[in-house]
Structure 1
Amino acid sequence: MSIISKIKADPRLKRLALRLLIPENEHSPRIWVRLFLNPFKHKKGRNSVIRNSSRMDVFPFNAFLLGDRSIIEDFATINNGVGNVIIGKNTIVGLGCVVIGPVSIGNDVMLAQNIVVSGLNHGYEDVSIPTSKQPVTCKEIIIEDEVWIGANCVVTAGVRLGRHCVIGAGSVVTKDVPEFTVAVGNPAKVIKKYNINDGRWELA
């Protein structure tokens, strides 16, 4: 069993480790974690860019990977506190986006502005406990290659977006979207699909 597995399995060790990594009442890693641990744990691809005003809440106990020639724009937030965040090559995470793991984003993906992609949900079922103190659940979001997500969208936990699909601006995606389709609305529904035989886009 690895050291990380032992820490995760022991509640007391886990509390101590979290105290060392994260200041009380905050969700960002301590400066020593950012400077001395993360550069050795996480991988940033060749010619990739993370803008200075983006918020990188990444921790050494989960993976963070940014592929070659990808960019995380200003005011974006990346958080791998509850699950891995994997971003492929030639991918854009636009201005003001929020990506909370577990999330896997493929190559040549475009996230426009102010998009929320969160693999995390808070429990709410026990009405005697505040929602903020209830256990969280995580389901990985998978965004395949060449996906384009328009501005102000929300992608909820457990969703899979198929290759080369397009999500219209302002949509809320609560279910899987097949490859080579266009989906819009709240909840998002497929309105177009690509006909491989005819080589054209058709109304769904």
Structure 2
Amino acid sequence: MPIKEVVKTNPALKKFIHWTLVPTKQARPRTWVKFFVNPFFHQKKPGSIIRHRTRMDVFPFNRFVLGKNAVVEDFCTINNGVGDVLIGDETTLGMGNVLIGPVAIGKQVIVAQNVVMSGLNHNYEDVTRAIQLQGVKTAPIIIEDDCWIGANVVITAGTTIGKHCVVAAGAVVTKDVPAFSIAAGNPARIIKKYDQELQTWVKVKDASFTL
């Protein structure tokens, strides 16, 4: 049986290995993991940059990939503790972004400042137990190629933003945004779409229509 399967089927062993990687009740790796383990598991492709004041809470048991010539600016936080974080070639993450996997961002995406993307939700259904004791559930966030995500946007778990979309500053995306669309508001709604026949951007007649 592969070692990974042995660990999964042995709760005590799994708990011990997790403790060696992550301090109790914390969400960031131990220093030795950051410097001596992660480099062998994660991909940081040629030309990519992670600024020094970025918080990289990444672990070897999930994937982290940073594409060619991609940039992660200062004061970002990236966490792959509950799901992969994949960032495509020539994508830029502006200052202060928070990415909690599972998140997959395509190529040539512009993400402005203070954007939050979280593929994680806390369970809350049992009112007899504290929310923090009920565990979490995940659903992937996908941002396809050539998108522009404005400042202070929130993108929630399980949503997909299609190719060449613009999400206006301050929007809260709770449902999928189709390709070649502009979304704005809270909750986000489609305000423009690209008309392939007219070859121009066209306003959506009922801009009150939410996603």
What TM-score, normalized by structure 1, do the two folds share?
Answer: 0.98
Aligned to 1:198: 198
Aligned to 2:140: 140
Aligned to 2:8: 8
Aligned to 1:177: 177
Distance 2:116 2:187 in 1: 15
SS in 2 for 1:186: coil
In the alignment, is the contact (CA less than 8 A) between 1:21 and 1:29 conserved in 2? yes
Aligned to 1:89: 89
Aligned to 1:161: 161
Aligned to 2:80: 80
Aligned to 1:58: 58
Distance 2:77 2:4 in 1: 25
Superposed CA deviations along residues 25-78 of structure 1, whole A, max 9, x for unmatched, are 321101110111100100001110001100000000000000000011100000
Distance 2:37 2:29 in 1: 10
Distance 2:72 2:8 in 1: 30
Segments of structure 1 that go 5 or more residues without pairing to the other structure are none
Aligned to 2:119: 119
Offset, 1:8:
2.8
SS in 1 for 2:37: helix
Letter in 2 for 1:192: K
In the alignment, is the contact (CA less than 8 A) between 1:4 and 1:61 conserved in 2? no
Aligned to 2:23: 23
Distance 1:169 1:71 in 2: 20
Letter in 2 for 1:103: V
Q: How many residues align?
A: 204
Distance 1:33 1:148 in 2: 33
Stretches of 4+ moved more than 6 A in 1?
Answer: none
Letter in 1 for 2:134: Q
Segments of structure 2 that go 5 or more residues without pairing to the other structure are 205-211
Distance 1:148 1:32 in 2: 36
Distance 2:9 2:148 in 1: 39
Distance 1:161 1:2 in 2: 37
SS in 2 for 1:81: coil
Distance 1:80 1:9 in 2: 22
CA RMSD of aligned residues (A): 0.9
Letter in 1 for 2:161: L
Offset, 1:4:
2.4
Distance 1:84 1:98 in 2: 14
What TM-score, normalized by structure 2, do the two folds share?
Answer: 0.94
SS in 2 for 1:4: helix
Superposed CA deviations along residues 141-181 of structure 1, whole A, max 9, x for unmatched, are 11000111100010000000000001000000000000000
Letter in 1 for 2:64: F
Distance 2:23 2:97 in 1: 24
